[in-house]
Structure 1
Amino acid sequence: MSINVLAICGSLRAKSTNRGLVRYAQAHAPEGMKIHIADLMEVPFYNSDLAEKPAAVKQLLQQMGEADALILACPEYNYSLAPALKNALDWASREPDNHLLSGKPVAIMGAGGGMGTSRSQYHLRQVCVFLNLHPLNQPEVFSNAFAGSFDTDGNLIDEKIQGLVRKQLDALLSWQQQLSR
């Protein structure tokens, strides 16, 4: 049996280090896990006045509905999570009974300056409480995006962080299996 994981990156840049984290995760998913990466480029800001959901939103919500677990790559903007990531969660949370998110296991990772997105990840954990998402506690993946851990295309090249990502994926697989019992 394989679990379906949706990775959502809060950065929209093609060469983003956070996107590099999810690309690495996708390429190194453990046996029994398939990772798909959401595309947020065309997802507009949530607006309840929209009479019909745009196609990009419908696609994202369908992917969330099919996912057994989530990976959230969380950039840090002004000590908080990126608007694109929060917006994706806002769209999903408006579905009846929060059925796309409630009870799902989540792995959180991030690359940024200084403390490597620790502040934004802790803020994201507060959002997870309200959405009834179940984030992993450990291992945490905080990477300094400016300390040589990534190449110029945003690809993860640091062996220590690569190891943390693989450990986190193994933990996510176990966490999902535990929560689905």
Structure 2
Amino acid sequence: MTFHSDIPLLPFSSQKKWRSWLSKNFDRVDGIWMLLYKKDSGVKSITYDEALEEALCFGWIDGLRKKYDEKSYIQKFTPRRKRSIWSKRNRTKVEKLIKEGKMHNAGLAEVKKAKNDGRWDKAYDSHTTMKIPDDFVKELSKYPEALAFFKTLNKTNLYSIGFRLQTAKKPETRQKRMQSIIDMMKQGKKFH
């Protein structure tokens, strides 16, 4: 596959090699695309979970994932942006890494910033634990056609709705998002 990007595409055969690379480069590059091999490929490769753990240790975060070829995919990793929101899943991973003494100062600095500005406490649920807020369902119930359409949505659609509502920073923003989503449901349009 031909791949064009302004950031490098790198493979890592182990978690140790990724950590070593990060220790030398975490503050020197804008990110990388990591080449990850599927378990049945026969190629020794770091796993996604191992890669994410090390990224979090250095204040980095995972991003887009794309298919690369039949044996592999690519995962983007970048330094965490100034106002980047936290997931509860990554927050839990970081708490474990802190207890284990694995966090680098750069990662600890990102945790401190998030705790100081409130992003730590506002972490969003993962797709497996995300729940649609009761007030949204109550408002949606006022529109039978919208509620009927809502009941046809798949998990990805529902997660998108929950995420948008959960990550609104202000109550008025959340209310606008809620109304916009309900309006789409009334028209039979999927949110995601």
Q: Do they superpose with TM above 0.5?
A: no
More helix by share: 2
More strand by share: 1
Which structure would you say has the larger Rg?
2
TM-score, normalised to structure 1's length? 0.30
